[in-house]
Chains A and B, each alone.
Chain A
Amino acid sequence: MNFQKPHELHERRKGRNIGVGLVLGALIAIVFGLTVVKVTSDGFQTPATLTESN
């Protein structure tokens, strides 16, 4: 098996990559959280209910 030594670039950009990863993780959490809040709010209507009321 051949393990390659990590490129120097990976080491140099490690902090940046971790940061981007955390930001993307936070974005997923925010979109998920917003979705939960919106669909559980009183005024939420599904497209089907909207069509029926029209």
Chain B
Amino acid sequence: MTDASINTASAENEAQFGDYFALLKPRVMTLVVFTAFVGLLAAPVSVHPFVGFCAILFIALGGGASGALNMWYDSDIDAVMKRTARRPIPAGKVTRDEALSFGVALSGFSVLMLGLATNWFAAGLLAFTIFFYVVIYTMWLKRWTPQNIVIGGAAGAFPPMIGWAAATGGISVESVLMFCLTFMWTPPHFWALALFMRGDYDNAGVPMLTVTHGRRATRVHILVYTLLLAVLAIAMGFTSAGGPIYLTVAIVLNLLFIKGAIAIWRRDEEDAERDNFAAERSFFKLSLLYLFMHFGAILIEAGLEKFGYGLSLGGLL
């Protein structure tokens, strides 16, 4: 490398540490960290706190690596969408090749380290999650099917399962239901967003359900997924990870969520335009609280169990 070649970047376009960190999608990482942490703590096997910390860290890094690879592949559409135009690649801070190398290296590193810190089953699950998000979702299905959100949701749903696997070395009803909770939650969450954030996905040519099947069909889909989600969320209460606190939270939140979904289903575009998508916006906000409170309740149940105050309704499922 010559002195001339390393100096081509101007000072304002020089990638800083924060730009590489932004490649990891830190906001998505917070969800990964939280749900993986809940999965790890809810597991019936206790883990050394330092090993647990390392497991969460490597799961988060694996999630971040898949985010970097997603930004590498999607840099063309990121540049078109308002929401993503300021990401490091479209902003000209990081090149596509750098993002690719960074993502691949971090993927390998996170999987290897998780395997060494915990077990190879959890590491394999993390590797599969990265593969699923990058290859199956980003490269293959995202630009091809309007069910892209449903499939993408699966990738985001794996962390609690990996956390559980890091502690136990396997899979169980509880970890599958934790997966299902995030998996079924993702479509209504994103479709509500797509209803009031119109235009962005159309410009990028991403086949969102709102565009391919219409906004009426999206409203119906939100209701159907919300009803299915409620069944799974409440079923979770009857496993060893659930309990009376979880069940109370789940019943209240699912009733509110179903009420919101019915309100969205009953409205047409004229109603929505009139109040600037108030029902859709409040459903979206509630969806954030919904997931946080469900996993929070599992965490509380796990905490009570560890201190000998557990009132698990487990064994029924």
A-side interface residues toward B, CB under 8 Å? 8-9, 12-13, 15-16, 18-20, 30, 33-34, 37, 41
Contacts and interface: CB of A to CB of B under 8 A. Distances in A.
Nearest to B11: A12
A2 B17 CA distance: 32
Contacts of A12: 11, 14
A20 B16 CA distance: 10
Contacts of B15: 16
Contact of B17 (A8, A20, A30, A34): A20
Interface string B81-118: 00000000000000000000000000000000000110
B48 interface: yes
Contacts of A8: 7
Main secondary structure of the interface of A (DSSP, over half): helix
A12 B117 CA distance: 36
Given A34-B117, A37-B51, 13 more contacts: A9-B6, A12-B11, A12-B14, A13-B14, A15-B16, A15-B17, A15-B18, A16-B20, A18-B17, A19-B17, A20-B17, A30-B54, A34-B50
Contact of A34 (B11, B14, B54): B54
A13 to B, nearest CB: 7
B57 interface: yes
B48 to A, nearest CB: 5
Interface residues of B, number: 16
B11 A37 contact: no
Contacts of B16: 15-16, 19
A20 B18 CA distance: 11
Interface in B39-65: 48, 50-51, 54, 57
A9 B54 CA distance: 35
Interface string B1-17: 00000110001001111
A37 B48 contact: yes
Given A9-B7, A12-B14, A16-B16, A41 B50 contact: no
Nearest to A20: B17
Contacts of A20: 17
Contacts of B57: 30
Interface centre among A8, A20, A37 (most CB of B within 10 A): A37
A20 B50 CA distance: 23
Contacts of B50: 33-34, 37
A31 to B, nearest CB: 9
A19 B6 CA distance: 19
A19 B16 CA distance: 9
A34 B18 CA distance: 27
Nearest to B57: A30
Nearest to A16: B17
A33 B15 CA distance: 31
A6 to B, nearest CB: 14
